[in-house]
Amino acid sequence: MGAGKPLVIVGASYAGVQLAASARELGFEERIVLIGDETHAPYQRPPLSKGLLTGKTTVDKLALRGPDFFAQNNIELLLGRRATTLDAVAQTLSLDDGGALGYGWLALMTGARCRPFTLPGAELDGVLNLRTLDDALRIEAAAAALMATGQRACVIGGGFIGLEVAAALRSRGIEVTVIEAQPHLLTRSFPPAMSAYVENAHRRRGIELLTGHAVRALHGEHGRVAAVALEGGRRIDCGLVVLGIGVLPNTELAQQAGIAVENGIVVDMLGRTSAPQVLAAGDVANMALPTASGASNGPARMRLESIQAANDGARAVASLLVGREQPCTAVPWFWSDQFELKFQMAGLPAHDDEVVLRGDMATDRFSVFYLRHGTLVAAHTVNKPAEHMQSRKLIGAHVQLTAAELADESFDLKRVPLPVAAT
């Protein structure tokens, strides 16, 4: 091991664990201390709203790394410990147990937390968030109770996590109402035809979907949620409310240390913050995007909430630590499982891109492509994993394609020539 000051990582989830792993793989020899305030060993979050709630997976299958991984790689894992204060000038970090650590490098991989729900009734029992394993176990227990009583569940917020929870509960026979304030679902991610497809998919599978409806309050009986009251007077009786209203980045340490924060910690493509020796990646980071891509008239930076962004951002940070800088230029991608539908999203579409449908939405197997000045910049697929994988390569290679080619299912996407580096 080196004799310098350690790499201290705050946040023991995707970005933090990937950084520790990649740093070791690349030969980083200093001490690595990985601090996480959750008490569970680092675990996978996507199955919390998918496999765990449907019963397709169990808690013992969620570990992010094998039990020996941290010891074998000489990574000191401090769980159940919270970093409370950062002094970026003295390069020290204080912990909630009274201890303090000096660092050579500090990585803020603090992720995000659920946006607070502030309407009357938010404090009632049976009003639950979903971010952590403990949250998922609470929803799981509440769902089991609903199955016994036949009561309804309400999901507030029709984003990906809300829809996954709704689908999981419905697939267990529970009556579910999804309440979304916007007139349509997922309008920030999807064009109108895709939003309409998702809405139909949920309604056809028995979800009551109320779009364009705002919640006024939650009502309880004996301290437990009993109904959701909507603006306009409608009341929906229920025994469980799951909140899917988005997340806020955990930027407090950075803010308090005077580090630039704007919808997340502002970082470049190597994860460098405005403070020397302080780095960030994952859900907490608002990362610069490559400008020399097909997305060149898109935003200059973005805070992405995905496993891919956390892992690729962490890899870029690790490359910086060992002096072999590899900026994060990966094509963003994301997935969501709802009922038997696998949605896979690659690239960053903009509202004025040309939208091309390939396949028939009625079959639940199709792709939607996005062209910007003839360049493929994004693809959304449903139950088409091979087209998703190929699209990622094509988007990364900035290939030029026509709408007619993309719409033609006999046009083989695998035969589109790629520059050697992108194959």
Ligand X SMILES: Cc1cc2nc3c(=O)[nH]c(=O)nc-3n(C[C@H](O)[C@H](O)[C@H](O)COP(=O)(O)OP(=O)(O)OC[C@H]3O[C@@H](n4cnc5c(N)ncnc54)[C@H](O)[C@@H]3O)c2cc1C
Residues at the interface with ligand X (CB under 6 A): 10-11, 13-16, 35-38, 45-46, 48-49, 82-83, 109-112, 130-131, 161, 250, 253, 282-283, 305-308, 310, 334-336
In the complex, the smallest distance separating the C-beta of residue 341 from ligand X, rounded to whole angstroms, is 13
- Strands 92-95, 100-102: pairing kind: antiparallel
Nearer to ligand X, 277 or 308 (CB): 308
What minimum distance in Å lies between the beta carbon of 96 and ligand X?
8
Nearer to ligand X among residue 226 and residue 379 (C-beta): 379
Query: Rounded CA gap, 230 and 236, in Å?
Result: 8
C-beta of 310 vs 328, nearer to ligand X:
310
The label of the residue with tokens 């980083």 reads: 28
Longest Cα separation, the chain: 67
Distance (Å) of CA 301 to CA 203, 244, 294: 36, 25, 15
Q: Which among 364, 354, 345, 367 is positioned nearest to 403, based on CA atoms?
A: 354
Q: What 3-state DSSP class applies to 227?
A: strand
Tokens of 85: 């204060």
| Bridge partner residues of 287 (DSSP) | 267, 302
Whole-number minimum distance, CB 18 to ligand X, in Å? 8
Rank residues 82 and 205 by Cβ distance to ligand X and give the closer one: 82
Residue 420 CB, shortest distance to ligand X, in Å, is 28
Residue 236 to residue 207: CA distance in whole angstroms: 14
Shortest distance, CB of residue 11 to ligand X, whole angstroms? Answer: 3
CB of 35 to ligand X, least distance (A): 5
DSSP symbols for 280-323:
E-GGGEEEEPPSSSTTTTS-SEE---SHHHHHHHHHHHHHHHTT
> Which CB, 81 or 372, lies closer to ligand X?
81
Q: Toward ligand X, which CB reaches closer, 105 or 375?
A: 105
